[in-house]
Amino acid sequence: MADLNTRISDYIWKNLNERHANAKKDPFWESLRNTGTEIWLDTGDIAEAEANWTSEMSALTTNNTLLNNEIQKGEYDIYISEAKSLIRELPPQDRIKEVAFIINARHGLRLATKFGGFVSVELHTDTAHDVNAIVHYGKRFHEICPDQFIIKVPFTAEGLIGARKLMEAGISVNFTLDFSARQNILATRVAMPAFLNVFVGRIGAFMIYNKLGDGTGVGERAVVASQNWVTALSANNPWQTKLIVASLRHYSQVEMLAGADVFTIPPAVAAEARRQLSGNFSSRMHEHHEVSLFSSASEARIEKFWEADNNVFNLAERLSAKLPSSAQELIQIAHEEGCGDMFPFLTREEKANISSDGKIPVYTRWAKKIKEGEIAPDTLLTLAGLASFTADQKMLDERIRSIIE
């Protein structure tokens, strides 16, 4: 297997000839950087990234959806076909996943070579509930580009354990699909990642789509609470964890959330911010954001996005002191500590409902379980986000299958 991994790594690096992008300085983005915010572009589209890239930007981030968008353009079809000879000795059930890894790593390398910054690469969604697979593929990504690749690991019980193992092996992790301060408190102490997230745009979309509020304030409040807790708690860790404000949907959030550790900005939002904002940024991380809620949200436990009770802190410290050996053990401990709504037990029908809803869960399906404390809105968004990425991964896998079989 070691020989196969070497041959695959050599193939990924073969004939890499991206021309380095000439990044110019931009006082607009320099002003944002001066608040302490790192600027990452949220795209896998090389031409789109080049049109917006400046010297103040330090990374790009991809995910299963963004990578699928690139693969469906067809430019990797020949590359995938030529990879068939490498993966013939693998069991049939592993071949598609291996080719997905190859093209993900290749595309990440193209971005790293062209722009010279970090690139956040995502694991195949099949690994989300498999600690060994998270560690295996995380290490392989790292070996290919140790100085620039950051490995995305999703917020699952297995992800918490796998991310911790990768970090202890010296591998930088971007812990993803987090939506709340309490999730980030847990991740900071247990996974101890280099980066973690609040997907601010999806929180607002959840409120609007489900007519729970007008979308203002909720995501922003989750960001500020998360930033303060992550900064404070990671001071007790061997390294500093940084908060990423992800899923920015409106240019105004660039100004409203200035001073957070990192922004991942879609190019369209970055371009609109550049057109609409003055560029006179100052940190807003100590501001209080009012939340506009409708009466329908009275039992929706929306405060879960920014509040954390003692149960969360007790769970975080217990798991940090002794990392569980399995996801089942971690979930059992979470229920013992009164945090079962972070790792709920779901029926097959409920899992199907999450998948069918897409990125934004239908609140009415879950209102009773939320009221009874069996699940929470931040957990729902995490589950929905993973299900959405899984659907896009399936589309990518089907294109691979059509070429190699």
Question: 32-58: buried (b, 16+ CB within 10 Å) or exposed (e) per residue?
Answer: bbebebbbbbbbbbbeebbebbbebbe
Average confidence score pLDDT of the chain: 96
Q: Is the pLDDT of residue 383 over 90?
A: yes
- Cβ atoms < 10 Å from Cβ of 250: 15
Residue 1: the pLDDT is 66
Residue 97: the pLDDT is 95
Q: Are 193 and 153 in contact (CB under 8 A)?
A: yes
Read off the pLDDT of residues 211-257 as tens digits, 9 standing for 90 and up.
Answer: 999 999 999 999 999 999 999 999 988 999 999 999 899 999 999 99
Q: Is the pLDDT of residue 122 over 70?
A: yes
Mean predicted confidence (pLDDT) in 121-132: 96
Q: Is the pLDDT of residue 349 over 70?
A: yes
Q: Is the pLDDT of residue 107 over 80?
A: yes
Residue 67: the pLDDT is 85
Read off the pLDDT of residues 46-99 as tens digits, 9 standing for 90 and up.
Answer: 999 999 999 999 999 988 888 888 889 999 999 999 999 999 989 988 999 999
Q: Is the pLDDT of residue 102 over 90?
A: yes
Residue 236: the pLDDT is 86
Question: What class is the 2-12+28-291+386-404 domain?
Answer: alpha beta
Every domain of the chain and the residues it spans: 2-12+28-291+386-404
Residue 247: the pLDDT is 85
Cα-based torsion angle of the residue sequence 15, 18, 20, 22 in order, rounded to the nearest 10 degrees: 160
Q: Which residues contact 9 (CB under 8 A, 6 or more apart)?
A: 140, 143, 144
The number of helices, as runs of H, and strands, as runs of E, in the chain is 18, 8
Q: Is the pLDDT of residue 384 over 70?
A: yes
The closest alpha carbon to 197, from 173, 214, 217, belongs to 173
Read off the pLDDT of residues 173-196 as tens digits, 9 standing for 90 and up.
Answer: 999 999 999 999 999 999 999 999
Read off the pLDDT of residues 289-318 as tens digits, 9 standing for 90 and up.
Answer: 999 999 999 999 999 999 999 999 999 999
